[in-house]
């Protein structure tokens, strides 16, 4: 049975690689349908990543558009050394890094999560924190209750770089260590070290709130924060 499972996983991986190769070829050929599918698939994840990693979150939407422009213009240089998803995220991280450098030169304060970003169709004000909610299930949602999401997002912003980005890529986006290392251009040991320090820093940011509220700690969350990098 174990052999059957292994063969099944291999077949699935080969199928995904084949589908990705076909998609890349269509993108290189200028297919509008392929590019529209790519945007529909990756727009929300890339926006969420950028909104969490750049200083001025109000610019995340514009930055997301710029990422897809770079993808469209640079698809010809993608030769499959990594997965298409990893390549896309690497572009997004590079744009986020450029934005942070610009922020350091021109900005002096962050936009709070309570900042109104506009109005919904019903005329109700929409706050930035509400835009960051990801409807998809992820490790992040498994350990943080919905009512605590805004507080955790705010605490996450206090984690210094590059620990914050490593934490986002591994614990929120779910990339494996090798993919995170490739995106950030560092070795596995550095990724694991950054992850441990990032988790510890996030825990330190959240602990005062937990003590004030006299609420019991979530054992799964505590385990995630203490866990040695695998």
**What does the pLDDT profile of the chain (230 residues) look like in tens digits?**
544 545 455 445 445 677 888 888 999 888 889 999 999 999 999 999 998 888 777 788 889 999 999 999 999 888 888 889 999 999 999 998 888 777 666 655 555 555 565 666 666 666 655 555 555 545 555 554 566 777 888 889 899 999 999 999 998 888 999 999 999 999 989 999 999 999 999 888 888 644 444 444 444 444 443 343 33
Domain boundaries, the chain: 16-132, 135-230
What is the CATH code of the structural domain delimited by 16-132?
A: 1.10.1740.10
Q: pLDDT by residue (tens digit) across 39-93?
A: 999 999 999 999 888 877 778 888 999 999 999 999 988 888 888 999 999 999 9
Domain 135-230, classified CATH 1.10.10.10, yes or no: yes
Distance CA 142, CA 159 (A): 20
Q: Which phi and psi (to 5°) does residue 175 adopt?
A: -70, 150
Rounded to the nearest 10°, the torsion over CA 77, 80, 84, 85 is -120
If you search the block for the tokens 């955790």, which residue do you land on?
152
């Amino acid at each position: 049975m174990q052999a059957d499972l292994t063969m099944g996983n291999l077949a699935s991986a080969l199928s995904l690689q084949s589908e990705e190769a076909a998609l890349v070829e269509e993108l290189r050929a200028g297919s509008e349908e392929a590019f529209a599918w790519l945007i529909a698939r990756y727009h929300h994840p890339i926006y969420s990543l950028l909104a969490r990693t750049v200083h001025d979150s109000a610019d995340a939407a514009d930055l997301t558009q710029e990422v897809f422009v770079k993808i469209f213009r640079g698809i010809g240089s993608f030769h499959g050394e990594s997965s298409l998803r990893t390549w896309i995220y690497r572009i997004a991280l590079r744009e986020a890094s450029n934005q942070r450098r610009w922020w350091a030169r021109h900005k002096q304060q962050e936009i709070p999560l309570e900042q109104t970003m506009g109005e919904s169709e019903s005329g109700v004000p929409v706050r930035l924190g509400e835009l960051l909610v990801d409807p998809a299930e992820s490790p992040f949602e498994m350990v943080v209750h919905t009512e605590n999401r805004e507080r955790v997002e705010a605490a996450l912003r206090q984690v210094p770089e590059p620990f914050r980005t490593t934490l986002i890529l591994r614990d929120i986006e779910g990339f494996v260590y090798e993919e995170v290392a490739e995106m950030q251009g560092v070795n596995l040991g550095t990724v694991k070290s950054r992850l441990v320090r990032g988790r510890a820093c996030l825990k330190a940011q959240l602990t005062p709130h937990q003590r004030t509220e006299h609420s019991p700690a979530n054992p799964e969350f505590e385990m995630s924060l203490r866990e040695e990098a695998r």
